[in-house]
Structure formats: structure tokens, C-alpha cells
Chains A and B, each alone.
Chain A
């Protein structure tokens, strides 16, 4: 699966939108973009995934560029409970989830 690149850390003010970027310039046509997060000491939690189109669910929105070389996860109104490590992963169905270092998001009051 394609390698992804994320910034090591980001800060966000409580109540503001958190926009987490991810680069995946070598992504193939069969690879989906998945986002997970891990809150301290807990197991990773699925957030959202998509192939080409933008996606939205109750947790977040996923914006994928037209060339699919990058994406942005948007948490529309970040709260302190959104402080976590966020992982962007390119995955083809049938392959195994491989985690990188992720982005540490700190939401501050």
C-alpha cells in the first residue's frame, strides 16, 4: 500500500475546525484513504474512509483532492476529547492495516 506523510503534530483551538492534512502521492487507483485516531491508552478508532469522493459522517469529513495525491480530515468543531494521534492510511481492500507515526492533534481551550 502507498506510503502516507503527515505532520508530526498540530494544535487547534477548542470549538474551531481541525484540518489534518495527509499526502499520499503514490496512491493507486484501488487504494482507499482511511483515517483512524488513537486516544491515549485506548485502541485505535475508525473515523472515516473514502476512495475518490468527499465523505462525511457524524465524526468528520474527508476531502480528497481530484488527483488523489492528498487528503484532509476535518473535525468541524474540535473538543478537548478530540486530542489524539490521527493516522492516515492508504489501504487496498484485502490488505492489512499498517500504521505510521500519525499526527498528534492537541486541542486547547
Chain B
């Protein structure tokens, strides 16, 4: 979607390696989010940010950390990737009316 991009789009990594996914927005919105989507579980919130250096945990935060040093960038890090973290990851931003815009997703495979 316009205004939000995720990178990389696809990644294959080995168990135990660190992985960082990037979300970049051009809308200057305060709120940013990371979700994961798995068959049978739907979309689940991992972490979110309500401003630079202000982040909080979501429903499934174990094994993940985030950082937001600039308004436009929200990074999701898997400190030591596990096979259970194989998933599709979506970043989102929300406007003041809480209309969310989602990125195109990152398909991560941990082997």
C-alpha cells in the first residue's frame, strides 16, 4: 500500500540466527504495529509503537523485540529465529481515526 513498505519481502534463514524485518512509512503517523499471520491463528499482534522510542508488547511478543528510533521506521528483530517463527509478518500504521494501513508482508521461513 502507498505510504508503507516492508523489507525484505521474502527471507529464508537458519534456526538460531538473528533476523531483522524493516517497516518504513511516509505518512508521519504516530502508531505502528507488527502482526504475524499463521494458518489457524489468523492475524496476531506482536508489538506496537506509539512514538519514537515508545513501544509495547502485543499478544505474541515472546522471542521478538522492536525498535523505533525514527518516526518512519519500525524494526522487528527475532533474536534467535526458531521454526515456530516461520510466518507471514505484516507491518501496519494507523491514522488518527485508527484506520490501519498494512504493508504487503514479509514471508519468513526458518529452516
Contacts and interface: CB of A to CB of B under 8 A. Distances in A.
Q: Do A and B come from one complex?
A: yes
Interface of A: 32, 34, 36, 41-46, 49, 91, 93-94, 96-102
Nearest to B101: A46
Interface of B: 1, 33, 42-45, 48, 58-59, 90, 92, 94, 97-105
B100 A98 contact: no
B99 A46 contact: yes
Contacts of A46: 99-101
Contacts of A102: 42
B-side binding surface: helix, strand, loop or mixed? strand
A96 B33 contact: yes
Contacts, number: 49
A97 B104 contact: no
18 contacts: A32-B98, A42-B105, A43-B103, A43-B105, A44-B90, A44-B100, A44-B102, A45-B102, A49-B99, A93-B97, A93-B98, A96-B48, A96-B58, A97-B45, A97-B92, A97-B100, A99-B42, A99-B43
Contacts of B90: 43-44
Contacts of A45: 1, 102
B1 A43 contact: yes
Contacts of A41: 105
